[in-house]
Structure 1
Amino acid sequence: MKTELSLLNRTLELYRYPKLSHDKLQAWDAGDEYLITHVEEQNFNRGQHILVLNDNFGALSCWLSSQHVVTTVSDSFISQQGIHANLAHNHCASVNVISSVENWPNHVDLVIMQIPRNNRYLTWQLSQIRALYGDSCQVIAVNKAKEIHSSTLKLFEKHLGHTTTSLAWKKHRLVFSQGDQPNPPHVEPYTTWRVEEEAMTLSNLPNVYSGESLDLGARFFLPHLPGHAKYHDIIDLGCGNGVLSVKLRQLNPDATITSVDESYMAVESAKNNILLNHLSNEKARFVANNCLDGFSAQTQDLVVCNPPFHQQQAITDHIAWQMFCDAKHVLRTGGELLVIGNRHLGYDKKLEKLFGKRQVKLVATNAKFVILQATK
């Protein structure tokens, strides 16, 4: 794994978070390099206030902090931890790192953006830039050239203003935009919709997975969630918009339910959806975290989990393995981990290795998904 980002006679040592001993993925991409090189070539005056959006592990924040005042906005708890760690490791100047649900600064001179995969989140960020800063600052964004479609550029023009692009470099392209759209449409932060078969209403902030309809995995999982007096303490790990938390609260009204996700917008949406469905949050906790870091051992009776198989742009299975290990750690003896996943991911083998073959059983399956229960 390459850890040294060397550009323009300067070197940063950067790591992904969490730092893994055999990680083959590096903490930055060619898009970061393209943005950094372009900004340096513009010779901006020192001390510019730069807003950095969607910095994966801090390459942009670390580099720009040497000459400018930097505020970094991220929806990812994991990215934030990586940014903080890399800032400290490289002895960088202070950067104001805030979450996606906090207020942005009132004034910035330049916005630097890694274009997010989620178009609803991109639309919301563009509308925020236009509303807060107008045409007083320039926006420079980057993505892989194959991911910048004509529809992407139309979003920039519709919600921000005049937009152009650069030539491709290392399969990446820059997008330049100015907030001069005279009549940008208003963008609501929440999207609200009804799940009729569950008598449930859900509302999602822009960067929440499956934010306009119930995803197939959750739809299959919901009828198999348990309700029993023996479940005093429950964790919804990777809670997303909190749909499983809502159902678990309906089935287990007296339990303490903790909704955990690495997305700040997911955690906030889960919290909102408990209230939206007229459920008590008296015994509810909502935590942005890297899996179950810092949770005490043997404190839970049930963990439900729908693991992601990617981190930012990278496909990886280490998150699922960490979730399973963390779940076993926090479960009391006799406690249960309930997992849903695509059939081809082989979660049964991972769970058998961790919990023992006799402790893993099949709960339900269909053509696409499998639900497994592992008992500690």
Structure 2
Amino acid sequence: MRQFSYRRVTEVRDALTLVAGHDDAHYLGGGTNLIDLMKNGVETPGRLVDVRRLPLDGVRPTPDGGLLIGATTTNSDAAADPEVRRRYPALSQAVLAGASGQLRNMATVGGNLLQRTRCGYFADLSQPCNKRTPGSGCAAITGAHHNHAVLDWTGHCVATHPSDMAVPLAAFDAVVRYETLEGPGEIPLTDFYLPVGDRPDRETALPPGALITAVVLPPSTTARRSCYRKVRERASYAFATVSVAVALDVEDGFVRDVRIALGGVASRPWRARSAEEVLRDAPATAGRFREAAEAELAAAEPLRDNAYKVTLAVNLIEAVLTELSGKKGER
């Protein structure tokens, strides 16, 4: 392993100062992704700044009735929080669907959002990967890609984003807050992840050296009737083949509000706005649910071996909408 320096900080300003001007510096949260990549030689930081002791953990209400989840909150604590479970159940379900209990006890909310793709070619230094080495090529396009993207990919990268947590956060219009030496900022989660384009190594819209401090969930009565479903190749500790987070508000047989996001189908959590448009103010019927799901996947461009994901995503959206439409919502 390459030598690196390690510093543990207790103040946000100290963390920002230690990273500023050092392109090879990384923030270290739980380390459940970064340390693995360092062991494989994919990541080679010259400086690690441990942020676990920063005063950024915990879940608390916001003045407008939403929730703020601190960036160093563990995934386990976020999933177990009573207000998260009551007001945003799909978020709790998504976190519990990701990784093992031991990893959830270590992994942080901020780190979860910044985890890198699990594409096998990204982790294999003997193979070309534009996400790891820009300009080297994408081996997955003609290689093993049965679990890769069917939406919004380019000839430069077909990898998918691995986070379960980010999918309901996208559906619920969450906002990522961050801090820089110049001051604080925030980015809607749907804008946080950049399109693949021709530089898939550029994954987020965070300014250089920025530190995620919190994720903010806006108030939402619709989110109280929500769920997350994940299809994967084995029952535990596996990344999504396709996943969906849905929040649905039905009144007098019509869809008053709906939020849908998909995981496992694109390089970022995919907000299903076409499906939402078909459903909003429409009858809450099986036929309409199917129509909405098919409208969302109409833009899919499957690769040689992953066309099954299109059918799977359509069926999953329809099934979850049908399930939620039969539940009584909490007010």
TM-score (norm 2): 0.26
**Structure with more relative contact order (C-alpha pairs < 8 Å, separation 6 or more):** 2
More strand by share: 1
Give the greater-gyration-radius structure (CA).
1
TM-score (norm 1): 0.24
